[in-house]
């Protein structure tokens, strides 16, 4: 089912005229420009989210002392964080990082950039919808940031916004902040829906001749599955936040017991979205690692089909594990039992993926480039994040570690150690294709080493204090006698976090310096096999010249015995009996 898909692509060659500045850089329908826009949005938001993280860490290490640099903003308290400001800080840190950093960068930027280029399409199936999707997300971002400036402060009920804390103004004293939080996520949900429909349609309909489903690079598989999850999961959140907003503004009482509502309904809705969301955040990074490891091991991915099917099964299982967030919530304990079973099951495909990545390294010719190092960091940090998840899967153990820093450690190993290192890997790897320039490797190594070390200094001790019972979301740990002996860990973690923040400076310099002054990138700097490397760097509007590439083989044909080069591009006609899997 492949060859005819892209031939019906009518506008392939016509109207290649110059477009104005606005059409090229701002209201562009070109998937590559939209990808860059998503990338900039995500990186900008990352600065805000990161600054919030440092504020949180400062308060935890040295509670109720002035935060350096905040005396101007919090002039009333000379820069000391109030409890409500602290709650706002961690709520917005998580909200921004999840919805406006990881999702725009991984799904938004790389989804947009890679899908057409790697399946051999000239653009997305619906370019205008694509543009609309970005501008909707952007609007959502503006609404979210606006919340910082309303009286009463921004949302402060945690990124999970559990009702009734989030649904009744009086309980937090936060008024329009929480409303804007709901509205922003509602708008973002619409944007994400447009994007996901587009991705799914493009992957199904617009593959180049010869690009069968099982010749697709794994990152496209991961983005395709992510899009399906987005399409099915985000609307649940969108409806949920609408209900929350109605509760707040119209008094509907969906979640308020005094009006006949049920607080747990919010948790069911939120986590029904929230657990697939975790995989929305991590699947693209898995795809990225599966892309980069073969390139720099100069060898085919180990177990291509196992990799693809494990992602499919993760996607399927992610719908029936969400209850493990609610083991001690008051949900029927019998349900807890079933969710424990499914949660244990979902660990299996993750294990399969890890072993296959190791298998890819085995017998390779490993080149320690910056994207490779970041991918290796992804794999190893994901292993830690995955293993710590087993503790939570076991319901009795979860009783104890639920709502402690053990959970915080786990999510940061998965989302920072996993998704963000995946994003760094992707940025370094595809930067030459995206912007036509190479990044500076020295700065790249510096960024990687600093980030990797300080990431672990920051987040590993969270396991330790979590095991000691340290609750999450507390403003001042020194208020608790049993936590006082552990306070030095908080200081160590904060120093690590400051180091982690400083380690991003080489990245920022590298990114912007390379954008304008980097070495011009060749068409295929990494000697890679997939289709995007057959287009110029950066690819022009409509990606390829008059003729679309034709695919003859699988995506990871490295070091094929008898081949003249150690890589055999997907477009290279298949005449030698290479033993590649074909369908």
Find the binder of other proteins among 3, 51, 158, 320 (CB under 8 A).
158
Residue number, 138 or 327, with CB nearest to other proteins = 327
| Backbone Cα Rg of the chain | 24
Distance CA 56, CA 91 (A): 10
Alpha-carbon separation of residue 158 from 46, 87, 287, 403, 440 (angstroms):
18, 7, 30, 12, 39
Min dist CB 519 to other proteins, Å, is 21
Mask of contacts with other proteins, 265-304, x by CB under 8 A? Answer: --------------------------------xxxxxxxx
* 381 in contact with other proteins (CB under 8 A): no
Min dist CB 179 to other proteins, Å, is 15
Q: Beta-carbon neighbour count of residue 509 at 10 Å?
A: 14
Distance CA 472, CA 507 (A): 30
Distance CA 92, CA 423 (A): 21
* 80 in contact with other proteins (CB under 8 A): yes
Structural tokens at position 320: 């029936």
User: What part of residues 182-211 is at the interface with other proteins (CB under 8 A)?
Assistant: none
User: What part of residues 522-581 is at the interface with other proteins (CB under 8 A)?
Assistant: 558-561, 566, 579-581
* 359 in contact with other proteins (CB under 8 A): yes
User: What part of residues 316-345 is at the interface with other proteins (CB under 8 A)?
Assistant: 328-330, 333-334, 336-337, 340-341, 344-345
Q: DSSP of 546-565, one letter per residue? A: SS-----S-TT-BS-TT-SS
Residue number, 139 or 476, with CB nearest to other proteins = 476
Q: Beta-carbon neighbour count of residue 416 at 10 Å?
A: 21
* 479 in contact with other proteins (CB under 8 A): yes
Residue number, 48 or 157, with CB nearest to other proteins = 157
Mask of contacts with other proteins, 105-144, x by CB under 8 A? Answer: ----------------------------------------
Distance CA 437, CA 304 (A): 31
Min dist CB 158 to other proteins, Å, is 5
* 252 in contact with other proteins (CB under 8 A): no
* Residue whose token pair is 């033993």: 579
Find the binder of other proteins among 384, 408, 420, 446 (CB under 8 A).
384
Find the binder of other proteins among 11, 25, 149, 171 (CB under 8 A).
171
Residues 6 or more apart whose CB falls under 8 angstroms from that of 501 comprise 50, 53, 54
**Sign of torsion, CA 540 542 546 551?**
positive
User: What part of residues 37-76 is at the interface with other proteins (CB under 8 A)?
Assistant: 64, 76
Residue number, 354 or 534, with CB nearest to other proteins = 354
**DSSP one-letter code for 543:** S
User: What part of residues 449-478 is at the interface with other proteins (CB under 8 A)?
Assistant: 464-465, 467-469, 471, 473-477
Distance CA 260, CA 243 (A): 14
* 491 in contact with other proteins (CB under 8 A): no
User: What part of residues 391-450 is at the interface with other proteins (CB under 8 A)?
Assistant: 391, 393-397, 399-400, 402-404
Structural tokens at position 165: 């804390």
Find the binder of other proteins among 363, 441, 540, 545 (CB under 8 A).
363
Q: Beta-carbon neighbour count of residue 398 at 10 Å?
A: 21
Find the binder of other proteins among 24, 362, 449, 565 (CB under 8 A).
362
Report yes or no: 171 and 130 within 8 Å, Cβ to Cβ: no
* 361 in contact with other proteins (CB under 8 A): yes
Distance CA 483, CA 471 (A): 9
Find the binder of other proteins among 8, 72, 258, 583 (CB under 8 A).
258
Say how many residues touch other proteins, by CB under 8 A: 110
Min dist CB 104 to other proteins, Å, is 26
- Tell whether omega for the bond before 164 is within 30 degrees of 0, i.e. cis: yes
């Amino acid at each position: 089912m492949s060859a005819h898909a892209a031939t019906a692509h009518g506008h392939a060659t016509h109207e290649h005229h110059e477009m104005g500045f606005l059409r090229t850089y701002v209201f562009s329908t070109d998937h590559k420009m939209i990808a860059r826009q998503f990338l900039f949005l995500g990186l900008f938001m990352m600065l805000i989210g990161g600054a919030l993280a440092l504020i949180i860490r400062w308060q935890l290490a040295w509670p109720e002392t002035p935060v350096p640099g905040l005396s101007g903003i919090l002039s009333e308290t000379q820069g000391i964080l109030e409890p409500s400001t602290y709650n706002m800080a961690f709520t917005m840190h998580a909200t921004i990082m999840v919805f406006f950093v990881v999702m725009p960068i991984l799904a938004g930027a790389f989804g947009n950039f890679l899908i057409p280029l790697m399946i051999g399409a000239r653009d997305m199936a619906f370019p205008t919808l694509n543009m609309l999707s970005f501008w909707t997300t952007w609007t959502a971002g503006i609404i979210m940031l606006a919340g910082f400036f309303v009286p009463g402060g921004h949302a402060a009920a945690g990124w999970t916004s559990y009702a009734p804390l989030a649904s009744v103004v009086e309980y937090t004293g936060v008024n329009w902040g929480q409303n804007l939080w709901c509205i922003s996520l509602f708008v973002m949900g619409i944007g994400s829906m447009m994007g996901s429909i587009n991705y799914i349609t493009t992957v199904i309909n617009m593959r180049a001749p010869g690009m069968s489903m099982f010749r697709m690079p794994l990152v496209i598989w991961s983005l395709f599955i992510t899009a399906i999850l987005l399409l099915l999961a985000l609307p649940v959140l969108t409806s949920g936040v609408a209900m929350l907003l109605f509760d707040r503004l119209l008094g509907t009482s969906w979640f308020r017991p005094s009006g006949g509502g049920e607080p747990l309904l919010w948790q069911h809705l939120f986590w029904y979205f929230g657990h697939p969301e975790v995989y929305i955040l991590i699947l693209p990074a898995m795809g990225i690692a599966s892309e980069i490891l073969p390139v720099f091991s100069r060898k085919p991915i180990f177990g291509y089909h196992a990799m693809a099917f494990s992602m499919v099964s993760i996607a399927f299982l992610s719908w029936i594990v969400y209850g493990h967030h609610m083991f001690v919530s008051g949900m029927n304990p019998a349900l807890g039992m079933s969710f424990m079973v499914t949660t244990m099951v979902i660990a299996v495909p993750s294990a399969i993926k890890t072993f296959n990545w190791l298998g890819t390294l085995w017998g390779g010719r490993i080149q320690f480039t910056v994207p490779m190092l970041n991918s290796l960091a992804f794999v190893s940090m994901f292993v830690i994040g995955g293993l710590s998840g087993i503790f939570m899967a076991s319901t009795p153990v979860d009783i104890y570690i639920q709502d402690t820093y053990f959970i915080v450690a786990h999510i940061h190993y998965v989302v920072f150690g996993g998704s963000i290192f995946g994003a760094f890997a992707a940025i370094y790897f595809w930067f030459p294709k995206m912007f036509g320039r190479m990044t500076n490797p020295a700065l790249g190594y510096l960024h990687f080493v600093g980030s990797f070390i300080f990431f672990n200094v920051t987040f590993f001790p969270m396991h330790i204090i979590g095991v000691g019972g340290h609750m999450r979301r507390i403003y001042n740990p020194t208020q608790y006698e049993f936590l006082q002996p552990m306070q030095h860990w908080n200081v160590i973690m904060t120093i690590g976090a400051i180091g982690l923040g400083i380690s991003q400076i080489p990245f920022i310099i590298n990114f912007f310096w390379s954008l304008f002054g980097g070495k011009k990138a060749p068409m295929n700097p990494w000697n890679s096999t997939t289709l995007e490397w057959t287009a110029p760097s950066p690819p022009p509007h409509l990606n390829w010249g008059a003729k679309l590439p034709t695919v003859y083989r699988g995506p990871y044909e490295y070091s094929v015995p008898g081949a003249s080069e150690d890589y055999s591009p997907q477009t290279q006609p298949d005449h030698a009996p290479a033993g590649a899997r074909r369908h």
